[in-house]
Amino acid sequence: MARYERTEEQANLDTEALTLRSRGYKYQQIADQMGCSKPTAYARVQRALAAIPAEAVEEYRRLEGDRLDTLLNIAMYEAQTRKSMYAIDRVLSIMERRAKLMGLDAPTRTEVISYDHITAEIMRLERELGVQDADDREDSEAEEVSGAQEV
């Protein structure tokens, strides 16, 4: 999924708008101060607010990833040199944690269909077919009548 990337200049403008807003400025005042329209001032504040959690999460993932890399190197060395089952287990645990942190093990989507749901769907389709069959019968009867009248 493509993500919108802000330039450094845009990030600075967004931060400035958010700073003014946090000081109690109204959006029109922010716009006047920054030399832009009111909707642009609003958009800048909203982008700055939206970016805060994303940047914090990215920083957390980076720090945790670095820590896990360090631990993985140690555990991998132990697993390879000592052939320790405990070290191998630690390697697998660290790899599992890393996959969760990076979102690699996203849950698979499953759909549960009950017997009642299947029965209801069959009944719905039978009703549709029944209506269609009746329409087909009416059409064929109309054709027979028009054919008999032509003779």
Q: What is the DSSP string of the chain?
A: -------HHHHHHHHHHHHHHHTT--HHHHHHHHTS-HHHHHHHHHHHHHHHHHHHHHHHHHHHHHHHHHHHHHHHHHHHHH--HHHHHHHHHHHHHHHHHHTTTPPPP-----HHHHHHHHHHHHHHHHHHHHHHHHHHHHHHHHHHHH-
What share of the chain has pLDDT > 90, as a percent? 39
- 151 compared with 141, residue with greater pLDDT: 141
**pTM as predicted:** 0.43
pLDDT band, residue 1 (cuts 50/70/90)? very low
| pLDDT, tens digit, 9 for 90 and up, residues 14-57 | 999 999 998 889 999 999 999 999 999 999 999 988 888 777 77
Average pLDDT of the residues of the chain = 83
Delimit the domains of the chain by residue range: 8-110, 111-151
pLDDT at 145 (0 to 100): 52
pLDDT of residue 54: 76
Residue 88 corresponds to which tokens in the numbers above? 């191998």
What average pLDDT does the segment 101-111 reach? 75
